[in-house]
Amino acid sequence: MERLFIQHLKNLPDTARSFLEKNPDKRIFAFYGDLGAGKTTFIKALCNELNVIDIVSSPTFSIINEYQNETGMTIYHMDFYRLEKLDEAYEIGLEDYFETNSYCFIEWPEKIDELLPTQTTYVKISQNQDETRVLEIF
């Protein structure tokens, strides 16, 4: 397990850059954390570091947002908070996304745990009382 710390929002780009540098060959990331822990904010920072040209927003209602970066690379941002049944994940073809070798950033992965491939990197984001964040990478 590795830990990264976010002391302040101004440090977010550096932490996102470090996160990507420490995981150069990883593509599927499952982000766990309480509501308001900073999952979406951190994924936005990751997308900025990947030079995404689209507007990055929470896919809470769309379930999956697709972004492009400057070189045409596709990045998927998934949010399964509203998923009620595992069958819904099958219906949207979730497994196909995992086979693309594109970045897949997943919020609320506990809703689809059994569908996550073995190469998934698990990340827990926790908020401390002083508003700092800790990322534990498994």
Tell me: pLDDT of 47 over 90: yes
Give the global pTM: 0.95
Q: How much is the average pLDDT of 77-100?
A: 95
Nearest to 58 by CA among 105, 14, 101: 105
Tell me: pLDDT of 105 over 90: yes
Evaluate whether 29 touches 48 at the Cβ level (below 8 Å). no
Position 88 confidence tier, pLDDT thresholds 50, 70, 90: very high
Q: Where are the alpha helices (DSSP H) in the chain?
A: 12-22, 39-49, 86-91, 94-98
Question: How confident is the prediction for the chain on average, in pLDDT?
Answer: 96
Q: How much is the average pLDDT of 94-105?
A: 96
pLDDT digit string, tens, across residues 2-46: 999 999 889 999 999 999 999 999 999 999 999 999 999 999 999
Ordered structural domains, the chain, with CATH: 2-137 (3.40.50.300)
How much is the pLDDT for 60?
85
Helix (H) or strand (E) holding 3: strand 2-6
Residue 104, helix vs strand vs coil: strand
Position 52 confidence tier, pLDDT thresholds 50, 70, 90: very high
